[in-house]
Structure 1
Amino acid sequence: MDRAAGIVYPLDTRPEPGHSLEVAPGIYWVRMPLPFALNHINLWLVDEGEDGWAVVDTGINTRMTTDMWEQVFEATLQGRPVTRVVVTHFHPDHMGLAGWMVRRWPGARFHASLGEWLMARSVWYEVASGNHDARLAYYQKAGLTPDEIEGIHGRTSGYRKGVSELPQSFTRMSRDTPLRMAGDDWQLLIGRGHAVEHVSLYSPARRVLISGDQVLPRISPNIAVWPAEPDGDPLAMFLADMPQFLELPEDTLVLPSHDAPFHGLHFRVNALAAHHRDRLDAILTACGERPMTVRDTFPLLFGNRTLDAQQLVFATGEALAHINNLVHQGLIRREIGTDGIWRFVRR
């Protein structure tokens, strides 16, 4: 059992590649590789008895992932089929093999929230247009250097690569209707900010929360403003939705999408709120000293490490999420210089 600053990791082992590990009665942990700095994702199998199995999140679309799933099916399913596929949100490491999964298991139903279903389709088809003009203007206004913008502009979106195909129909999940799974009613908690309508699943009978990316034990989920909604305030949404997790029992076993299962839900929810408050305070102080571009705030949030093109995309979105939150609170204002770059000044 590992303990780390208010977080308790009850398991000393990780599932082997191509295999699963039972973490609670009838719930199995599958761990798949990712081709990013965040190099893995946790996926979950729920035993539904004679009916078959539910899969919660699917992994990214790579041949390695599908090959590993076939190994998991052989080692874990005991000859019973996958009958439902549940996706917490539209990001490729979660949605990536949903279409492949329901095609691989004919008759399996696909479950997602309406917001995530529509966002997946929007992003998947928008990528095909190849129109990067709005993105280019967004990064220019954020104050990125010409070389940084060129690196981002020359980078094609990986969504179609990371998501094999989208299921052609879905069963809607919403907070109003529990999901009946494995003989239990799972409460659906909707979180915004990291995604449009992220679904976490809580079983009162098992005291188990499949948290997706909404509550992670060591890192903060990316909260970002994107070029299509440059004035958005996703951080306000994220912070407004997090207290619902404090209503769950403190001894809940949390099954996150990254790292490992843990106890310490209330501690972690409060720590995430404090983390963002600290970032907001740092930016507010800096804007009181001089006008700050979005790019100027990077050292406050991410230190002085070098960011590659992919990391610059996420860093810009996350920095602007904190800046916009301060703008919406009326604590700073946005000015646009003759160079077209946004600068932010404390009121």
Structure 2
Amino acid sequence: MLIHSSSLHFPFPDAPKPLSLTEVAPGVLWLRLKLPFRLDHINVYLIEDAAGWTLVDAGLGDVAGLDAWSSLLDGPLSGMPITRLIVTHHHPDHVGAAGWLSRRLNVSLYMGEAEYRIAQNILLSPSALDSEDHRRFYLDHGLDAGITSEVVAMGRKYQEMVTILPSTFCPLIPGSSIQIGKRNFVILSGGGHSAQQLMLYCPASGLFFAADQILARISPNVGVWSADPNGDPLSLYIQSLDDLKGRMPDDVLVLPGHDLPFRGLHRRVDELKDHHKSRCAVIEVACEEAPRSASELTGILFPKVQDVHQMRFAFSETLAHINTMVTSQRLRWVKAHGYPKKVMSLDPEKQ
């Protein structure tokens, strides 16, 4: 979801060109890898360490992603030993090439335990994505059977984008710290976008590696998925934004997983919170008119969705807003006449 912001400061308005590096702080390099999605890139970072460089995030592990890494390692990164790999969360654009890189470079993988376990579970149990529970999750909320089959099939593509992870890893513990070169980073974690997405904050240098938790011009996907159909990730996400705003100054340099580095953290937090508040308001108005299924509300919130890939994320985000409104008793689930069996709809709770 695009949220335009004119209140932020972008100290590096031009993204790095392919196979090139941009220094964003002393001993911190930024490079960008292509993605085959509407969000067509990911930012990865190199932090100067005692014996070389620590790499933060890995990009996709598909053929194009691995070819890009081969060109980087044989080109601009040759002579720059990578001695450690940190992956912020299990999404394929962040963890995809991690297994391949750990083997090629003979380096350890550092990752939050929950995110590592989720990635391994998906990689080692792909048949679970075809289970009846996964399909029923979408069907029960009114999604068409044909679209449901396509959405479920999209989930299986994870194995095509993520290389096999090492069987051992070094767990990063939220609340602890990690020394990278001369800098000491506090390890932070935030829910909503992913179960235990990790972020790195160096107060002394004013650097915040934000992963996907806060982005400059788009809202990161905050979604409900079939494994936790009644979860409330949006409340976790808002809490995380409040925590970040309370912990860091407004002028910290935010180094995100997508888009451009920026300053203006506090303003961006407020914009993102206002965005989700407005999404809930749209849902409430729609449900005052008539009971709605989650599928119908997806069409109202995201009328320009063009493909199954976008539909999958739009549906999950719509349900995240629904669940947080049910939790706060702004809405309630009701049986709706005329809907398929077990499909629920929404209706405002009348006080």
Instruction: State whether residues 250 and 264 of structure 1, in contact with CA within 8 Å, keep that contact through their aligned partners in structure 2.
Output: yes
Q: Describe the SS at the equivalent of 1:8.
A: coil
In 2, distance between residues paired with 1:215 and 1:75?
A: 31
In 2, distance between residues paired with 1:74 and 1:207?
A: 32
In 1, distance between residues paired with 2:240 and 2:221?
A: 15
Q: CA deviation at 1:179?
A: 1.1
In 1, distance between residues paired with 2:269 and 2:153?
A: 37
Inter-CA distance 46–300: structure 2 relative to 1 (3 Å threshold): same
Inter-CA distance 143–189: structure 2 relative to 1 (3 Å threshold): same
Structure 1 residue 284 corresponds to structure 2 residue 284: yes
Instruction: State whether residues 53 and 77 of structure 1, in contact with CA within 8 Å, keep that contact through their aligned partners in structure 2.
Output: no
Inter-CA distance 109–230: structure 2 relative to 1 (3 Å threshold): same
1:159 partner amino acid = Y
Q: CA deviation at 1:242?
A: 1.2
Paired position in structure 2 for 1:116: 115
In 2, distance between residues paired with 1:225 and 1:78?
A: 42
State the Cα RMSD in Å: 1.8
Inter-CA distance 290–164: structure 2 relative to 1 (3 Å threshold): same
Q: Describe the SS at the equivalent of 2:217.
A: coil
Deviations 1:265-290, CA, capped at 9 Å, x for gaps = 11111111111111111112222221
TM-score w.r.t. length of structure 1: 0.93
Segments of 5+ residues of structure 2 without an aligned counterpart are none
Instruction: State whether residues 279 and 300 of structure 1, in contact with CA within 8 Å, keep that contact through their aligned partners in structure 2.
Output: no
Paired position in structure 2 for 1:87: 87
In 2, distance between residues paired with 1:69 and 1:317?
A: 31
Instruction: State whether residues 92 and 163 of structure 1, in contact with CA within 8 Å, keep that contact through their aligned partners in structure 2.
Output: yes
Paired position in structure 1 for 2:175: 176
In 2, distance between residues paired with 1:252 and 1:17?
A: 27
Q: Describe the SS at the equivalent of 1:28.
A: strand
Structure 1 residue 20 corresponds to structure 2 residue 21: yes
Instruction: State whether residues 19 and 71 of structure 1, in contact with CA within 8 Å, keep that contact through their aligned partners in structure 2.
Output: no
Structure 1 residue 262 corresponds to structure 2 residue 262: yes
Segments of 5+ residues of structure 1 without an aligned counterpart are none
Deviations 1:223-272, CA, capped at 9 Å, x for gaps = 11111211111111111111121121211111111111111111111111
Q: CA deviation at 1:205?
A: 1.9
Q: CA deviation at 1:332?
A: 1.1
2:6 partner amino acid = A
Paired position in structure 2 for 1:314: 313
Structure 1 residue 137 corresponds to structure 2 residue 136: yes
Inter-CA distance 331–271: structure 2 relative to 1 (3 Å threshold): same
In 1, distance between residues paired with 2:17 and 2:330?
A: 50
Q: Where does 1:117-266 land on structure 2 (aligned, <5 Å)?
A: 117-129=116-128, 131-155=130-154, 157-246=156-245, 247-266=247-266
1:6 partner amino acid = S
Identity across the alignment (%): 34
Paired position in structure 2 for 1:345: 347
In 2, distance between residues paired with 1:168 and 1:142?
A: 37
Q: Describe the SS at the equivalent of 2:210.
A: strand
Q: CA deviation at 1:76?
A: 4.1
In 2, distance between residues paired with 1:130 and 1:224?
A: 17
Q: CA deviation at 1:204?
A: 1.3
In 2, distance between residues paired with 1:154 and 1:54?
A: 35
Deviations 1:278-321, CA, capped at 9 Å, x for gaps = 1111112222221011012124322x214311222111111111
Q: CA deviation at 1:75?
A: 4.2
Paired position in structure 1 for 2:296: 296
In 1, distance between residues paired with 2:101 and 2:301?
A: 38
In 1, distance between residues paired with 2:306 and 2:229?
A: 21
Instruction: State whether residues 143 and 293 of structure 1, in contact with CA within 8 Å, keep that contact through their aligned partners in structure 2.
Output: yes
Instruction: State whether residues 72 and 78 of structure 2, in contact with CA within 8 Å, keep that contact through their aligned partners in structure 1.
Output: no
Q: CA deviation at 1:17?
A: 1.1
In 1, distance between residues paired with 2:223 and 2:128?
A: 23
1:152 partner amino acid = V
Paired position in structure 2 for 1:272: 272
Instruction: State whether residues 193 and 235 of structure 1, in contact with CA within 8 Å, keep that contact through their aligned partners in structure 2.
Output: yes
Q: Tell me the matched-pair count.
A: 342
In 2, distance between residues paired with 1:186 and 1:312?
A: 37
In 2, distance between residues paired with 1:214 and 1:179?
A: 20
In 2, distance between residues paired with 1:185 and 1:154?
A: 42
